[in-house]
Amino acid sequence: MSKSRAEPSFEPVVDRAILEGVKDAQLGVAVWQATPEGPRAVFVNEAARTMLGYGRDELPPFGAFELDRDRDNARITQACALHKAGHYVPLELARSQSTVDGTTLHVDFFLDASARRAAERATLASEARFRSLIEGAPDGIAITRNAQILYANPAAVALLGYEDAADLIGAPITAFLDDDGRRRFTTRAGIAGPPRPLPPAEYRTQRRDGTWILAEITSLPFEWEGGPAVIAFARDVTERSRVAEQLKRADRLASLGTLSAGVAHEINNPLTFMTLGIEILAKRLNIAKLDEDERNSMLSTLAELRRGAERVAEVVRDLRTFSRADEHGSEPVDLRMVIESAERMVDHRARHLATVAIDVPDLPFVRANASRLEQVIVNLLLNACQAFDEESPRNRIDVRGGLLDDGRVFVDVSDNGPGISDEILPRIFDPFFTTKRVGEGTGLGLAICHGIVAGFGGELSVDTTVGGTTFRMVLPSIRASILGLTPPPSSPPSSRLRILIVDDEPAIVRSLKRSLSVRHHIETAATGEEALALVERERFDVVLCDLAMPGFSGIELYHRLRELKPELAKRFAVMTGGAVSQRASSFLETWTGPRIDKPFSIRKLEQLLSEAIGEQALGTEPDAKAL
């Protein structure tokens, strides 16, 4: 650059070492002078020309910087410069000045801030999206540092029963947990090592109004406002936990029901030959040559044995009823027997709290499921027990039954407890509604009872006062004549019958043969195959067959008889100690032929034989789908 004498000669204003250093740093450098005509560029490095779109030999019109007026006096300020293409380039500008030979020169150092500005905008947008996301999240989200809450979204505020997040800021998160939860939280938070995500854990959490919920919390390490923090996701799993507990309980009940069916079957077999044996001994004692006092003493002992066997039989019947709790088929049901069975099941609980009085006359049958109705009565009795906090001779539970004017049957279960409050009464049949503490009830009992009764075309209602509560169950009645429930003939068959007894329990076979051989011709078989061979060789009037036998069962024998001896299949009588398989249960549900449940008496057996012989085709074939 040539210089005239009128124009002073300038020495380099920037040290060569500095210029070489900024060349590779993409740092723009411009030296300019303020003149009356405006700023005049003296020196512009290659990086500055490139930023603003100018070629190697072109000088940008410096002075085109537009400064951030709020920061104009700052050492580093925000600015923008006009690009050759017409748009503005954001810059970060550092400005200084120096005087050389009496001339003031301005030196600008600047960087292209476009990328940083774009990154800042992206960060701000990302933060806005993040905040919008967590603000609208359905789960509670809280950010904590040193276990103190720094931020809580609206869902977390609502979860804890508050109205304003400000009420939670600064509070220790452990303040909302029970003692066990605080211990577990402290243990989990104190695990040594680098921060890492913690798996979900359930904590009993107290809301602002004092109620407790079960919250599932998952924690992740997080950076918040320049420091390490923890972000916690929380959701109310109280209802989910209750449903899970109910499903577990249902699974346990199903397992117990299966076990009960097997136990009932195993008990019924020995109980049957014990009962038959007692009857045989009593008959022989009556004709034996004994001293009268000795005979009476022995008969009294046998009577006690019979009563004991009957008590065991009642327990077994209750077990069988329980094991069929999931069967939904309907049949004629004697409500009085159902109520008596239900009372025996809750006696251990009720007798310590109240006096239970049952006043139920003989009532028409209802079409329902005995085990399901028993479940209803048991639940109502247990609810009545819970009306009393402690034992007192004044505590009373009354069960009454009768007929309404419209012919329907009703059963009332009443207690003289404090009654049900007006606030609770409208929700008494709502699913999951309960006034018990967590862990003491699911709130499903009355809801299930209401559904069961409604399913059989009935109604379940409640009436309460300060002096007690009455639950009333109403069901349609049915006439015995329509159902074919006329009593079987009381007299035994007059003719001598050829009877085939099939049972894999030798003691039962021997007892039956002793009891029946006086009046009938008896053949016995221990397996289905053996019975089938006898039927093919000989003629029989009746087949009395146990249903559950290993291998060739009573069901298979019945099917073969239908093919080979269809007339004899119509006189096929079933003995059962309880259905121990789904197939046996389905068979019995649809079987309407002669049937006798173990244990049984000789009198009942003779009635069964009369039924089998007196009505040749009484046995209706089971539904093929059930076989």
pLDDT at position 586? 81
pLDDT at position 12? 53
Residue 481's pLDDT band, with cuts at 50, 70 and 90, is: very low
Residue 4's pLDDT band, with cuts at 50, 70 and 90, is: very low
State how far the Cα of 483 lies from the Cα of 366, in Å rounded to an integer: 10
Mean pLDDT of 17-35: 71
Mean pLDDT of 155-161: 94
pLDDT at position 484? 40
* 368: amino acid identity, one letter: A
pLDDT at position 190? 67
CATH of domain 137-236: 3.30.450.20
Q: Which of 39-43, 159-163, 173-177, 511-515 is predicted least confidently?
A: 39-43
Mean pLDDT of 581-601: 82
Contacts of 326 (CB under 8 A, 6+ apart): 254, 257
Reply yes or no on whether the pLDDT at 168 is more than 90: yes
Reply yes or no on whether the pLDDT at 507 is more than 70: yes
- Domain 327-482, second-level architecture: 2-Layer Sandwich (3.30)
**Cα dihedral sign, 209-210-212-217:** positive
Contact (CB, 8 A) for 371 and 389? no
Percent of the chain residues past pLDDT 90, beyond the cut: 23
Average pLDDT over the chain, rounded to an integer: 79
pLDDT at position 258? 66
Mean pLDDT of 281-301: 84
Q: Name the token pair of 463.
A: 């009436």
Give the C-alpha distances (Å, rounded to integers) separating 590 from 180, 329, 528, 553. 54, 9, 21, 17
Reply yes or no on whether the pLDDT at 271 is more than 90: no
State how far the Cα of 261 lies from the Cα of 317, in Å rounded to an integer: 10
Reply yes or no on whether the pLDDT at 217 is more than 90: yes
The kind and range of the H/E element at 81 are: strand 76-82
Residue 545's pLDDT band, with cuts at 50, 70 and 90, is: very high
Mean pLDDT of 274-301: 84
pLDDT at position 489? 44
Mean pLDDT of 339-363: 86
Q: 524 or 259, which is more confident?
A: 524
Q: What's the Rg (C-alpha) of the chain?
A: 46
Reply yes or no on whether the pLDDT at 154 is more than 90: yes
Q: Which residues of 305-321 are buried (b: 16+ CB within 10 A; e: fewer)?
A: bbeebeebbeebbbbbb
pLDDT at position 582? 76
Q: What is the pLDDT of residues 75-96, one digit of tens each?
A: 567 778 888 888 888 888 887 8
State how far the Cα of 44 lies from the Cα of 1, in Å rounded to an integer: 14
Model pTM score = 0.44
Q: Which of 147-161, 340-354, 423-437, 562-576 is predicted least confidently?
A: 423-437
Q: What are the φ/ψ torsions at residue 560 (nearest 5 degrees)? A: -65, -40
Looking at the domain 16-115, which fold is it?
Beta-Lactamase (3.30.450)
Residue 524's pLDDT band, with cuts at 50, 70 and 90, is: very high
pLDDT at position 625? 38
CATH of domain 491-626: 3.40.50.2300
Q: What is the pLDDT of residues 556-578, one digit of tens each?
A: 999 999 999 999 998 999 988 87
Q: Which of 2-16, 247-261, 592-606 has the highest mean pLDDT?
A: 592-606
Query: Domain locations in the chain?
Result: 16-115, 137-236, 327-482, 491-626
Q: 415 or 248, which is more confident?
A: 415
Reply yes or no on whether the pLDDT at 624 is more than 60: no
Q: Name the token pair of 3.
A: 């210089």
Mean pLDDT of 440-456: 67
Residue 62's pLDDT band, with cuts at 50, 70 and 90, is: low
State how far the Cα of 157 lies from the Cα of 140, in Å rounded to an integer: 7
User: Where on the phi/psi map is residue 28: left (φ > 0), alpha (ψ -120 to 50), or beta?
Assistant: beta
Mutual angle of helices 370-385 and 445-455, in 10-degree steps:
140
Q: Which of 119-133, 521-535, 564-578 is predicted least confidently?
A: 119-133
pLDDT at position 563? 92
* 469: amino acid identity, one letter: T
Q: Which of 138-142, 298-302, 323-327, 398-402 is predicted least confidently?
A: 323-327
DSSP for 573-626, please give it. EEEES---SHHHHHHHHH--S-EEESS--HHHHHHHHHHHHHSTT--PPPPGGG
Reply yes or no on whether the pLDDT at 477 is more than 70: yes
Q: 288 or 211, which is more confident?
A: 211
Q: What is the pLDDT of residues 362-402, one digit of tens each?
A: 889 998 888 788 888 988 998 888 888 777 888 999 999 99
pLDDT at position 96? 82
pLDDT at position 494? 59
Give the C-alpha distances (Å, rounded to integers) separating 265 from 33, 262, 314, 572, 573. 112, 5, 13, 21, 18
CATH topology match: 16-115 vs 137-236: yes
Percent of the chain residues past pLDDT 70, beyond the cut: 79
Tokens 């190697």 correspond to what residue? 56
Reply yes or no on whether the pLDDT at 191 is more than 60: no
Q: Which of 42-46, 252-256, 412-416, 489-493 has the highest mean pLDDT?
A: 412-416
Mean pLDDT of 304-319: 76
Peptide bond into 599 cis (omega under 30): yes
